Structure 1
Amino acid sequence: MKAEDEEQYQEFVRSRWQRLLRTAYLLTGDRHLAEDLTQTALAKAYRLWHRVRRSDNPDAYVRRILVSCDKDRFRKRRVPEHLTDTPPDVATAEDDMARVDQRALLAAALARLPRRQRAVVVLRYWEDLSEAEVAETLGCSTGTVKSQAAKALSKLRAVLRPVPAAAPS
């Protein structure tokens, strides 16, 4: 790779690392897997940098690589998931710890979604991509994105719905 291309690639990685890592974390539900997934995607982007930098949207190109790498991870080996019947306790005070608990609860709820629904939710609502951009990234139709998003949001609402307090006796 030419020195100029190398410099462009390094700047791209520096400026996009955190966002890609967050997306990978939301796709995998595990910090270490997210780091591995992000590194794998960026390694592939490095090999294809001549295509990535010439594309209309390098961010979308690398995001698609990231999602593809996540799909490959499931094809190669199944990762055991341990689901529980009850979510973890949530703090009642609105402090930093409560927000951390809420994020952990949301991450756990996302992890319970099927892989494709999780990818749609992360790309559509976390990354704030349009339905068309999500469809392009996942290689499916806009209708599939809409239906998968609706199903995923319904499941998330059911899991994250606050439990009504019992009436005092």
Structure 2
Amino acid sequence: MATEQELSDFLKSVEKRAFKRSLYHVRNEEAALDIVQDSMLKLAEHYGDKPPAELPMLFQRILSNCTLDWFRRQKTRNALFSSMSDFEGNDEDGAEFNLLETYSGPDGDEAAQSAETLTQRAQTLQGIEAEIQGLPARQREAFLMRYWEEMDVAETAAAMGCTEGSVKTHCFRAIQTLSKALKARGITL
């Protein structure tokens, strides 16, 4: 059984990654914050008594479901208000976040690196970020869980509610698409 402190520590450890993952999906900062907050509340309310080892899988599943619920609400809302001329739906403001804050160079001392190196790294990461956002939703979700959240295939399949084979296929296609797109941009990793 997770103690209150263990649950709190777990939520603190996943909040930034969960926000970025949600932001990749919904492309709206406020909505991403709401989704993460709802996910955390549901985990605490319904599963706070579970063992700490089970929390990561439960949270990933809850986060995925909250994201899907958000899209369903948006679809319903847009269908209801589509005839209103003054309603424009979700006009995204180009919500961005900087992957550099999560990237640390091999020596961890970015201040000592040249401005040119930092600029090249920033451009590379912006290119990668743009291409990840362009992936189909299921590919993006599988890719982020596997390579961002570092979940294994079985955990990803359980969180996404699909088979392990589907996860492998989604990841393979995402990697192929990203590789081609980045190569076209002149980015080599």
> What's the TM-score bracket when you normalise by the shorter of the two chains?
0.7 to 0.9
TM-score using structure 1 length: 0.73
Corresponding residue for residue 68 of structure 1 = 65
- Deviation per residue, 1:72-92 (Å, 9 max, x gap): 12222155779xxxxxxxxxx
TM-score using structure 2 length: 0.66
> Residue type of the partner of 1:69?
C
Matched length: 150
Q: 2:54 aligns with which of 52, 57, 82?
A: 57
Tell me the C-alpha RMSD between the 2 structures.
2.7
The answer to whether residue 26 in structure 2 is matched with residue 28 in structure 1 is: yes
- Distance 1:11-1:56 versus aligned 2 partners, 3 A rule: closer
Q: CA deviation at 1:110?
A: 1.4
Is the Cα contact below 8 Å between 2:143 and 2:174 reproduced in 1? yes
Corresponding residue for residue 158 of structure 2 = 136
Q: Output aligned runs, 1:1-169, within 5 Å.
A: 6-51=4-49, 53-54=50-51, 56-78=53-75, 94-163=116-185
Corresponding residue for residue 86 of structure 1 = none
Q: CA deviation at 1:7?
A: 4.3
Identity between Structure 1 and Structure 2 (%) = 27
Q: Could you tell me which runs of 5 or more consecutive residues in structure 1 were left unpaired when the two chains were aligned.
A: 83-92, 165-169
How far apart, CA to CA, are the structure 2 residues paired with 1:129 and 1:28? 21
> Residue type of the partner of 1:73?
W
How far apart, CA to CA, are the structure 2 residues paired with 1:80 and 1:121? 26
Q: CA deviation at 1:46?
A: 2.2
Q: CA deviation at 1:157?
A: 1.7
Q: Could you tell me which runs of 5 or more consecutive residues in structure 2 were left unpaired when the two chains were aligned.
A: 76-89, 94-114
Is the Cα contact below 8 Å between 1:27 and 1:122 reproduced in 2? no
